Amino acid sequence: MHDPQELLKDGPQAVRRLARRRHDLDPAALADALRERNGAQAEVTRLRTELNRTARARRSGPPTEEEKASARALRAEVQRAEAAARTAAAHLTELLLSVPNIPLDAVPDGDSEKEAVEIRRGGPAPRPADGARHHADIGESLGILDGPAAARLSGARFAVARGAGARLERALRDFLLDLHTREHGYTEQSVPFLVDRDTMTGTGQLPKFEDDLFRTQVGERELFLIPTAEVPLTNLVAGRLLDSRSLPLAFTACTPCFRAEAGAYGRDTRGILRLHQFEKVELVRVCAPEDAPAQLELMVNHAEECLKRLELAHRVVLLPAGDLGFSARMTYDVEVWLPGSGSYREISSVSDCGTFQARRADIRVKRPDGTRTPAATLNGSALPIGRTVAALLEQGVREDGSVVLPEALVPYTGFRRILPGGDTA
């Protein structure tokens, strides 16, 4: 959450420029709410000062009935003013909780992925899209993906993998977690998949994106299914004062992710690219604010290394301001080539959130000189299991219908090739 004075300190012109870069910001409403809060607080201060002055000026001896009545009336005014101040403060807080993070100056202007700036490409040369097959067709012909079974169980946007497909998913989980814990220095965590409202608010999912979340209610207890492991991983240090000498902290977890996809009607209805439930290996780092830029570059390299080991064609792009996630101030997307759709598609989003989440979740850093400051948090996917399977199928399919897997996965799968009918070799 932002400090409203800090947000508005550069004046209306700067705020209007921010609003053009982040269209979900209403600077006029923010300024009005801040003015209302400050005015209400000033009125409370004035009335309390008047009450104290009256009490000091009262003559010695028992108060007269007139003095008693005047004091009661003044105290009632103070109470009404305090109630109004609480209401104004709550309104400002509610508004601030819906204000997105401020993009860094290095982030380009633009409203969509079309304005993303390509940074580099990696992996083998992209396979031609002409005549390429969609991963859903490949998976069904191999007998390892069963969309109709998923639809019978749960409806649209769910998936069933069987046999070698399920084994491939398990192999990817183990491979990715081993890579991040053994080579990249992350500590694996096993975290809850259900969290409370405060936890969701700490990382920015609430209140703005409640329609995209799955919520449970048992009696009086309300819990949300996590949309990403970023939520519990970041909140592991919520409310804590961290010694700067212990930073950065680096966490990873593989969890199911649950998303209502409320705004995705009609998009990616085939296959396993956009599901209500999917698994993902997530990376989270917590550091001192001045170290965030270097940590962001490191995390992008970690995500990209996964694709290099899996021999997948990919590219890295810098997102424009209007396409940033709510909590991010700068984001690199790592996009994998999907010849079946003839396009690069996001497979990892690595974001620098600055102190935005730490202010909401009360994550602070204590420096050697004793000063305290909000921490910086960063997060990224590395990688989602379903989208990685889709890329492996589309880039690895051969003319005979079999799919060849990268050498790095063989120790985890026990096979190099998936044959039509689901057999392996």
150 vs 94, 112, 155, 257, 379, CA distance in Å? 39, 32, 7, 17, 30
What is d(CA 224, CA 194) in angstroms, rounded to the nearest whole number? 5
- Is-catalytic flag, 259? yes
- Is-catalytic flag, 364? no
User: Is 94 annotated as belonging to a binding site?
Assistant: no
What is d(CA 309, CA 314) in angstroms, rounded to the nearest whole number? 12
User: Is 376 annotated as belonging to a binding site?
Assistant: no
Among 21, 335, 387, 394, the active-site one is: 387
Among 349, 351, 381, 402, the active-site one is: 349
Among 121, 133, 274, 309, the active-site one is: 274
User: Is 348 annotated as belonging to a binding site?
Assistant: yes
User: Is 57 annotated as belonging to a binding site?
Assistant: no
Buried b (16+ CB within 10 A) or exposed e, 23-37: eebebeebeebbebb
User: Is 424 annotated as belonging to a binding site?
Assistant: no
- Is-catalytic flag, 349? yes
- Is-catalytic flag, 359? no
What is d(CA 391, CA 386) in angstroms, rounded to the nearest whole number? 9
Measured at the alpha carbon of residue 314, what is the angle toward residues 135 and 22, in degrees to the nearest 5?
100
What is d(CA 319, CA 60) in angstroms, rounded to the nearest whole number? 71
Among 67, 77, 210, 346, the active-site one is: 346
User: Is 346 annotated as belonging to a binding site?
Assistant: yes
Buried b (16+ CB within 10 A) or exposed e, 308-340: ebbbbbbbbbbbbbbbbbbbbbbbbbbbbbbbb
What is d(CA 298, CA 300) in angstroms, rounded to the nearest whole number? 5
User: Is 235 annotated as belonging to a binding site?
Assistant: no
Give bridge partners of residue 121 from the DSSP assignment. 315
Among 21, 157, 259, 329, the active-site one is: 259
What is d(CA 240, CA 362) in angstroms, rounded to the nearest whole number? 7
* Ramachandran angles phi, psi of 187, nearest 5°: -100, 120
User: Is 347 annotated as belonging to a binding site?
Assistant: yes
User: Is 259 annotated as belonging to a binding site?
Assistant: yes
- Is-catalytic flag, 6? no
What is d(CA 348, CA 68) in angstroms, rounded to the nearest whole number? 68
User: Is 379 annotated as belonging to a binding site?
Assistant: yes
Q: Which residues are catalytic?
A: 259, 274, 346, 349, 387
Q: Per the annotation, where are the binding residues for ATP?
A: 259-261, 346-349
Q: Which residues are annotated as a binding site?
A: 228, 259-261, 282, 346-349, 379
Annotated binding-site residue numbers for L-serine = 228, 259, 282, 379
